[in-house]
Amino acid sequence: MAVSSRRIRPEDWKPVGVKALEANALKVARSRKNRSVIAGPGAGKTELLAQRAAFLLQTDAAPSPRRILAISFKRDAASNLAARVRQRCHHTHASRFDSMTFDAFAKGLVDRFGQALPDRWRPRPDYEIATHNERDFREFLHDLPTPPSIVGTKNDVREIGPKIFERRHLAGLPLPVDGWPAPTVAEWAADAFWKMSLHDGGKSVLSFAMIGRLAELLLRVNPMARDALRLTYSHLFMDEFQDTTRVQYDLVSTIFRGTETIVTAVGDNKQQIMRWAMAMDDPFSAFDADFEGVRTSLFNNYRSSPELVRIQHVLAQALDARAVQPVSQTDGTIDGESCSILDFASPKIEARQLARSVATYIADLKLAPRDFVILVRQKAGEYAELLEPAFASENLALRNEAGMVGKVMLQELMAEEISKLLVTVLRLAMTPRAGGYWSSCQNWLASMRGIDVDDAIRQSRLARELDTYTTELAARYSHPPKSKAASRALVDDILNFVGPEHVIRSNPAYDQGTWLDKVLDATAEHLLSTSLHSTDWSYALDMYEGVHAVPLMTIHKSKGLEYHTVIFVGLDDGAWWSFSQDEIEATAGFFVAFTRAKQRVIFTYCASRGTRTKIATLYELLTKAGVQITSGSN
């Protein structure tokens, strides 16, 4: 679809590439106010933000050379939004749209301006990224010396909960420029952790929460950097806003609160499943108060059938009594129940029957394996041990997306840019009818190397270079690799062609510590594992991407995805052992799992895994919605 680069008068602008938007979505797209948008499952959040970007850029409401900043919680959401904007806008407009994660945004600020921080807060330039866990904090607090008597006692230190240390004390509040003048015992401990992380050893070692706090501080003490951001960005989008942490919210507030930058925050308070990862309890209310946001709700559901949407609303009301009744915009296409709970006599019978059912659905409904998903609460590997052989007996592959490849989770590896680029280059070089991958490679490389779309000379030179390289690559690696050395050599070959410096420049996380090498090693390992039993490249690359496999993953990793049929294995107290500790977030997780489905949801239960007493609330909700419990054993 060709998109014009000419300016459109606001009153003449129409949604691009879609028939229409619902009334409230159109209102948001055209808005000149700060808005908090409650967009439920299937509401089309990505499309909404892409249409808003199109309106702002095409009507010059975001006047050139000013830009739009879009911040997302996850990398794949950020890349998907950028891709959608490129579809909806002329490339000259899309080039003024910056889409990234909160972590990448904060890290970019620290990398650019961090050396202007006060001495006590200044990290070394070559700092490393750390992921701290509860055990790390417990050991740190245990090893702390006795604090000064004016601060507290060793016993006071022991009473600091390691589980809340990061959320409440280490990164809970904006950092004081000159430190804590009269610290509490928790502040004293936090200060000790900061000093250790910033100044002990050869390199600074920082978590992303700590980087976010440093980014907020440097903009407080460096008004020129803060004002430059305000001048650069006329509009800000925040996606998956329900999962925003206090660190992220404070950073955005320091930059944009009280300015002319117009902010659009989109999310769903019923899908908040990241409070364990420091998400705010109610970011929407905070935003409305601090940014004078206008609350706007979307009503359409473009994903799920009318019957599933009806059941979803029952679940939604348990999370928000004011939840509006969504309107399904798709048809139901299956016979029989859209939702059921199947009781099985044993996990083995369960696995066998589920595999048979999926095989039957694929054959009868002409579906693909990736139209299905197996969701579990946790410990995906343990479920995979029983499910994989059962699916194999039906000639179906089951792929544990939560499994580790080297030091990288498989699902995360598939989202890594170097992994995606590798597959695209290999598809172009090694597979027939690969013309569709040509433009992807050309555009990807041009973007990495800073080549403008309209620079015909450099684009032509890049095209010749790409053609020559892929021809030579196909000659050097005519068959998929059969050893780790050959696989890593191939990965390094492609990396060297693309240019490590270009990869790092477009992915700042690769520039710190050993993460890039871990990703490259995992990429080579996964490529080898999918090549060992492959005779041709097309099959090996399909295996690499899991094209013909039924995915297995945890609830948290299903966020933002959608499937024809969702099969939730293990609706029992054993899987949901922590339900009573945070019933709201657990119910939200249940809601997220349910709302991934377009046409069908199946829950399974085995008494041998646990009773259903602790999660009786979930069963009561399903019963209220008319969902029946039936025997799944045949």
What does the block give as tokens for 259?
């300015």
Which amino acid type is present at position 91?
Answer: H
Q: Among 444, 438, 443, which residue's Cα sits nearest to residue 421?
A: 444
Give one DSSP letter per residue of 338-399, joined into a string.
SEEEEEESSHHHHHHHHHHHHHHHHHHHT--GGGEEEEESS-HHHHHHHHHHHHHTTT-EEE
Residue whose C-alpha is closest to residue 42's, from 373, 365, 304, 362: 304
Other CB atoms within a 10 A radius of the CB of residue 495 amount to 18
Distance of CA 479 to the CA centre of its chain: 34
- Residue 39 marked ligand-binding: yes
Query: Could you give the CA distance from residue 538 to residue 426 in angstroms, rounded to a whole number?
Result: 9
Give yes or no for a contact between 359 and 552, defined as CB atoms under 8 angstroms apart.
Answer: no
Interacting residues of 149 by C-beta distance below 8 A, sequence separation 6+: none
Confirm whether residue 44 is marked as ligand binding. yes
How remote is the C-alpha of 71 from its chain's centroid? 11
Give a three-class secondary structure readout of 119-172.
HHHCCCCCCEECCCCHHHHHHHHHHCCCCCCCCCCHHHHHCCCCCCHHHHHHCC
Q: Is-contact 309 339, C-beta < 8 A?
A: no
Is 172 annotated as ligand-binding? no
Rounded distance between C-alpha atoms, residue 353 and residue 77, angstroms = 34
**Distance from C-alpha of 633 to C-alpha of 344, rounded to nearest angstrom:** 5
- C-alpha distance from residue 429 to each of 141, 372, 417, 461, 479 (Å): 54, 30, 18, 18, 12
Contact 193, 140 (CB under 8 A): yes
Task: Give strand pairing partners of 71.
Answer: 100, 238
The annotation status of 40 as a binding-site residue, yes or no, is yes
Per-residue tokens: 44: 């089309």
**Which tokens in the block code for residue 64?**
């050139």
DSSP string over 19-56: S---HHHHHHHT--S-EEEE--TTS-HHHHHHHHHHHH
Q: Name residues whose C-beta falls within 8 Å of residue 159's C-beta, 6 or more positions apart in sequence.
A: none
The arrangement of strands across the sheet holding 294-297 comes to: 97-101, 67-72, 233-238, 262-267, 35-38, 294-297
Instruction: Work out the angle at residue 77's Cα, subtended by the Cα atoms of residues 71 and 82, and round it to the nearest 5 degrees.
Output: 75
Residues 499 and 448: their CA atoms lie apart, in Å, by 9
Report the 10 Å Cβ neighbour count for 16.
17
Q: Is 283 annotated as a binding residue?
A: no
Q: Is 46 annotated as a binding residue?
A: yes
Task: Determine how β-strand 372-376 pairs with β-strand 404-405.
Answer: unpaired
481 is in an annotated binding site: no
CA distance 129 to 514: 9
Nearest to 240 by CA among 44, 45, 26, 30: 45
Binding residues for ATP: 39-46
Binding residues: 39-46
